[in-house]
Amino acid sequence: MIKTRNTTKDDVDTLFDLIMGIARFHNQEEYVLTDKQEMLNSGFNNNPKFGAIIAEFNGQIAGYPSYTWNYSIWNGGEYMKLDDLFVWKEYRYQKVGL
């Protein structure tokens, strides 16, 4: 069974592991410059700079999408931009990323 939920500050360790997972997948670990404290400060305050959703498969952490909000001058409003989408290898092809 697949469940999704918004991340909370209690998920920072898990979210950081997922970020490092996608970085390793792309062989780009050296480009991850954030840390858990920065994620707490920028994502879990009154004006969060990003959001993320945790996907669970049978109660296990399976992956995540992360997103940011941007502004379109053409449309005159905000829109959500998908930042990352990652699923651990053992949960791929289980419809977790749909």
Q: What is the pLDDT of residues 40-85, one digit of tens each?
A: 999 999 999 999 999 999 999 999 999 999 999 999 999 999 999 9
- Flag whether 96 is in a domain: no
Indicate if the pLDDT at residue 97 is higher than 80.
no
The confidence band for 98, taking pLDDT boundaries of 50, 70 and 90, is low
CA–CA dist 98, 93 (Å, integer): 10
Q: Based on the structure, what is the number of domains in the chain? A: 1
The helix-helix angle for 12-25 and 36-43 (nearest 10°) equals: 110
Q: Is residue 24 assigned to a domain?
A: yes
This prediction has a pTM of 0.89
Domain limits for position 40: 2-91
**CATH number, residue 6:** 3.40.630.30
42 occurs within a structural domain: yes
